[in-house]
A and B are shown apart, each in its own frame.
Chain A
Amino acid sequence: MTAAPTGPARAGEAARPADPAVAARPARPLPAAPPTCPSCGADALPVDRFCEACGTALHRGAVPALPVEVAPPAPEQEPEQCAECRGVELDADGYCLTCGLRRARPEPDPDTRTELDLGPVAGVSDRGLVHRANEDAMAAAVISAAGESEGTVRADPPPGGSHASGAAMAAVVCDGVSRAAGSGPGARTAVAAALNSLRAAAPAVLAAPEVDPGGRNGAGAGGLAGDALRAAAAAGQAAIVAVPVAPGDEPSCTFAAALYAAGELTVGWLGDSRIYLFDQAGARLLSADDTVAAQAARDGLIPPEVAETAPGAHTITSWLGRRSPRTTPHVRTARPAGPGRVVVCTDGLWNGVSAPGAMSALVAELPADVGAAEVARHLVAAALRAGGRDNITVVVIDIPGSA
């Protein structure tokens, strides 16, 4: 769960000054929320709609000041009977202990799961098993040098299926900040705007003689591709702040994007969505989380191994949204040794498996020749097996090359 725009100081973080973004919020009545999660006892903020630790919905009934859907009560509070066998006991994944039927709402709800398959680029966005809505969003495209592109959400792979040589591939993932109302629609708007921006910029990147990481040719860090990513984040930012909302609401989302063109991979991010690269040179994480804990680890204040679990591990320090302290993405480039794969994902995936080697091993469970869609499904399935406590979004880009 992507937690914040940085929240007020929690226990153990007392030295950190209160965040102006929160301090500046217009006063309004907050619902009486438990200071701790009734299910697992973890600390909670008054504005939290879900527990950071276990995903339990924290508010029952209407919360007047939040004009968004409010989670129905957690299942353990009102045991329902299984539709098939009338059993009430469920396992951790929501399966009936007697007949195995999953206790799930019917699935037509597009918020539950969306899939996107363009052949070499494919993604899955799944609500997970705990949250009532999917506030993650994704978009991807395959763009030819002439600027023609495959759409955002397509059910079928393009004719011919695999890589059109000389094409660029782009993927964008945004994780709506669940405690900021309106973030789900905000993330969807931002992702679409960011992809459109990348689509427009890609032909110029493909046409450039050589990507110039040094920023000569008048381009910034990461060359033209880096500029394209910065423009994409700016487009996403412009889109999300334009979302009409109730007074006081500030839709916010993370940003992670990858552009593969002319053999060069350029990635950009804000917040705790991640970009991994698995290629012939090994498995590695290209992004570095923008979280309080990750920053503390980088500053040597806490050991790096607790950066994903310490308080503040999901308290992001930059995002797309009105109050974000920074909306220019970090940019990094790599020259993948194909064949390989790029995984752009939200923390719903890496909460369960974060080490690049472990995630790469998960991918290696599949035959080497399966498509990007199968890889994305497999990774999402693993996150669901691990509990599916958050929304899970995974976009996979196949990097061509001969083994």
Chain B
Amino acid sequence: MVSFTCAVHQNPYLPENGTQVDVVVTVTAEADGALPGEKGGTGTGNAAAGERGPDAVEVILLDCSGSMSIGRRIEEARRAAAVAVDTLRDGVAFAVIQGTNRARQVYPNKGLAIVSDRTREEAKTRIGQLQATSGTAIGTWLLAARDLMLTAPGAIHHALLLTDGQNYEAPGAFAAALAACEGVFQCDARGVGDDWNVDELRRIATALLGSVALLREPAGIAADFQAVIQTVMGRGVPDVWLRIWTPRGARIRFVRQVSPQIDELTDRAAAVSDLIRDYPTGAWGSETRDYHVCVDVPPAPVGGRRLAARINLLHGEDTLSTAKVEVLWTDDSAESTRINEVVAHYTGQAELARAIQDGIRARQAGDEDTAAIALGRAAQLASVAGDEDTLARLAKVVDIVDAPTGRVRRREAVEKLDEMDLDASSTMTTGVKMP
């Protein structure tokens, strides 16, 4: 079993006539006992897979376009896919797809295979024969994965996508494919080399509740694949939703996952009633995530209290945990102006991600002044948050003169990989630093 707990971080005091309520909800899931699939775990395991269907489906999508023949990319991609297959747990359903300008199933011939020693070896033999040819049509690959996922309802659905190049599909086709896959499976997207488009993969990761990362060297793919698959195999609860009740007359400004990475959920809501909306969070293992919810509520007189939101974590019809966001109106400005450190931290982290992305976009458009302002602000925010990793990435793209005041100078020679790395990592957040 996985048990969930919620903690609320907020300043509950609002000034007279104040309406904006900001709250960070920390959700912690803890698996007590065996992992899914292991004896005694919640998974169905190998023996039961035939009767009740697999508890998880993994589809590996490997870019085999012509550019993958550069350097050791295709060799490393093959090695990484083999490591990924080795990391899959017995009893999980899986498939490997070769992505070019179409999607070709590599293993099994069709449908899904159940992981066992035999199927692992067969899959690795096929993977070893993959060659780089032809083009890149990522939407087509995702749709092929979707077809496979739909054959195993009720399982945890995940795809791992590796590409090295830009997508050559019509923008409409890519967007339509993403929309079709939303809610069907989760996908972590990885780019190797410096010829892929960070925005494109970020769109996949955002729509499909996954992460995006740049792999500088082909040799790093295998370790990353292993880490991703291990995380996925550790997930025991598929399809968890945040159900948010707000009072009549309230308006939700945004709902955003802010840790471990930023994910805008605002537009993903499914309305349950006038007052209740559901936001998808995907599958969970033992982990902690933070959500920033911002809601405007009708004011009550000074001294009045209102429930500004009730947040339930749902799996099917089961409520896993509940958090209540209570506010009270006060005429004591010392109370109402007090800053909650956690809310402030993640507000800063979200602004940091925006500043980095704005700055990079401005740089790419040749607008160095705007870039310097945005990246300067980013340096300042990273410095406040004590985010040394982001500062180090920023320093490879601009010369940081004084981080605390946000003074930066344009830098002449910038490696494209460094800029992409900064861009791709911008949505990763750091936790609240305890003094």
Contacts and interface: CB of A to CB of B under 8 A. Distances in A.
B324 A99 contact: no
Contacts of A300: none
A365 interface: yes
B307 interface: yes
Interface stretch (A23-31, A102-110, A173-181, A311-319): A102-110
Which bracket fits the contact residues of B?
Answer: 20 to 34
A100 B306 contact: yes
Interface stretch (A53-61, A90-98, A251-259, A274-282): A90-98
Nearest to B7: A365
Nearest to B9: A365
Contacts of A365: 7, 9
Contacts of A91: 307, 310
A362 to B, nearest CB: 9
A218 interface: no
Contacts of B304: 101-102, 104
Interface string B300-324: 1001111110100000000000001
B432 A98 contact: no
B382 to A, nearest CB: 20
Contacts of A104: 304-305
Interface in B276-318: 297-298, 300, 303-308, 310
B303 A95 contact: no
Given A99-B306, A104-B305, A367 B435 contact: yes
Nearest to A100: B247
A101 B306 contact: yes
Contacts of A305: none
A95 B307 contact: yes
A368 interface: yes
Given A93-B324, A367-B341, A367-B435, A102 B307 contact: yes
B308 A100 contact: yes
Contacts of B434: 367-368
Contacts of B307: 91, 93, 95-96, 100-102
Interface in B386-435: 432, 434-435
13 contacts: A93-B326, A96-B247, A98-B247, A99-B247, A100-B250, A101-B305, A101-B306, A102-B307, A365-B9, A367-B341, A367-B434, A381-B12, A385-B324
A106 B432 CA distance: 37
Interface of B is mostly: loop
Q: What interface size band does chain A fall in? A: 20 to 34
Contacts of A85: 248
A316 B341 CA distance: 41
B249 interface: yes
Interface in B59-109: none
Contacts of B250: 100
Contacts of A98: 247-248, 275
A365 B300 CA distance: 28
Interface string B14-52: 000000000000000000000000000000000000000
A99 B249 contact: yes
B272 to A, nearest CB: 14
Nearest to B297: A100
Interface SS of chain A: loop
A100 B300 CA distance: 10
A369 interface: yes
Given A91-B310, A99-B248, A100-B306, 5 more contacts: A93-B326, A99-B306, A104-B304, A107-B303, A385-B326
Given A98-B247, A99-B247, A385-B324, A108 B435 contact: no
Given A85-B248, A365-B9, A367-B341, A95 B306 contact: yes
A113 to B, nearest CB: 10
Interface string B363-390: 0000000000000000000000000000
Interface string A362-377: 0001011100000000
Contact of B303 (A108, A367, A368, A381): A108
Contact of B435 (A96, A107, A369, A385): A369
A102 B305 CA distance: 5
B403 to A, nearest CB: 23
Contacts of B324: 93, 385
Nearest to A107: B303
Most chain A beta carbons < 10 A, residue from B9, B247, B297: B247
Contacts of B300: 84, 101
Contacts of A100: 246-248, 250, 297, 306-308
Nearest to B328: A102
Contacts of A367: 341-342, 432, 434-435
A192 to B, nearest CB: 25
Contacts of B303: 106-108
Contacts of A381: 12, 326
A106 B305 CA distance: 10
Nearest to B310: A91
Contacts of A369: 435
* 10 nearest CB pairs, A to B: A100-B247, A102-B305, A95-B307, A100-B307, A107-B303, A100-B306, A99-B247, A367-B341, A99-B248, A98-B248
Interface in B314-349: 324, 326, 341-342
A102 B324 CA distance: 13
